[in-house]
Amino acid sequence: MKTTSVHKLALGWPIVVLIVLALSCWGCGPKQNQPSSPAASERSPVSESIPTTNPEPATTEPPTESAQTPGDETIPAADTPPDNPEAPAEHTDKVLNVFENTFEKEVLQARHPVIVEFGATYCMPCYIVRPVLDELAKEYAGRLKFVSADIEVNPRLASKFGVTYIPMLVVIENGEETQRFGFANEQQLHQVVAEIAASAD
């Protein structure tokens, strides 16, 4: 009886070993490509190739432009004296704006009689007389010269000529004042200018 039990135990031992080996090797086959973590599976391949740097904020300022384009010329404003006055304009059909640094060339050295209108931007009668002077400048172009001087921009000229009212018109011939008068009306101004032109011919 004992011999039969030992014989059966000896026959079952290899089977037990095989079962243990089979269980220990379970899952030893080749591993499938599985994501290591949900975060890794959701990561975009594009995001891995881009460095994570903070981009610079975009500026909202427009591109700066050059103050002066090629070919442009700087023209002084009517109330700004030019830095380098040029030669006097003898034959002109318009009223010229003169300044303290251009008065000598444009007025005192002129070859024709010059009618200087002293005025100011706040003077309403000056706005009335100016279109009349523009018409006279065209009518007597080449015979008489008409210029305008703002007393606020040219205080020394106003002081030199003793301007006490505006508009004041001063006639300059050969660098000397010959007469002065105020503006009453358009007809009076045409008559006085006609007399000046007649005496200068």
Domains of the chain: 96-200 (3.40.30.10)
Among 110, 116, 126, 158, the one annotated catalytic: 126
Catalytic annotation on 123? Answer: yes
The answer to whether 25 is a known catalytic residue is no
| 106 compared with 41, residue with greater pLDDT | 106
Calculated CA dihedral for residues 200, 162, 186, 152, nearest 10 degrees: 120
- pTM for the predicted model, two decimal places: 0.58
Q: How confident is the model at residue 93 (pLDDT cuts 50, 70, 90)?
A: confident
Q: Which one of the listed residues 95, 98, 116, 123 is annotated catalytic?
A: 123
Q: Mean pLDDT, the chain, as a whole number?
A: 74
CA dist., res. 153 & res. 119, Å (int): 10
